[in-house]
Amino acid sequence: MTTASKVPHTSREKLVVSILAEAGRALSAPEILELAASRRPMNKVTVYRILDRLVEAGIAGRHSAGDRTMRYCLAPCAGEHGHGHFYCTGCGLMECLDLDAMPIDRAALETALSRRVDHLELRLDGLCEACRKR
Ligand SMILES: [Zn+2]
Ligand SMILES: [Zn+2]
């Protein structure tokens, strides 16, 4: 994360990075477009191009959600060894989870797999608190 090539170059890239940082959850490209609109309107193609670049540079992560729309968040925005998401099937919001703080037994996984596990990615689908109360 310290190499110059990983630093966002353009003001648009910086804006997308700050939108992702402020959100603290995974956003879809349309959500990013909407949040950018009041600050610096961009077209869809531009946003997708910027997101591709950020993913390539390892700044952002691209994650599939239950609705098949990709979501983007800063990587790693949560745990160092694991990044997870909770996708709400009710409202479509995708939260980032710190898997390092979850009760996941990495050693047991490694034993079961007979492999070394360096990084964990997990998506949980369900209903968020607000949707559960509806
Ligand atoms: Zn919800
Ligand atoms: Zn995330």
* CATH number of the domain within which 113 lies: 1.10.10.10
Which pLDDT score, from 0 to 100, does residue 103 have?
87
pTM of the predicted model, to two decimals? 0.80
Note down the domain range covering 19.
4-133
Report which of residues 1 and 23 the model is more confident about.
23
Cis-peptide, bond into residue 76, ω within 30° of zero: yes
For residue 64, give the ligand nearest its CA: 2
For residue range 84-97, what is the model confidence (pLDDT) as tens digits? 899 999 999 999 98
Confidence category of residue 3, pLDDT binned at 50, 70, 90: very low
Ligand 2 centroid to 27 CA: how many Å?
A: 9
Q: For residue 85, which amino acid is it?
A: H
Q: Which residues lie at CB < 5 A from ion ligand 1?
A: 88, 90-91, 128, 131
Ligand 2 centroid to 123 CA: how many Å?
A: 10
Q: Which residues lie at CB < 5 A from ion ligand 2?
A: 26, 73, 77, 96
Domains in the chain: how many in total?
1
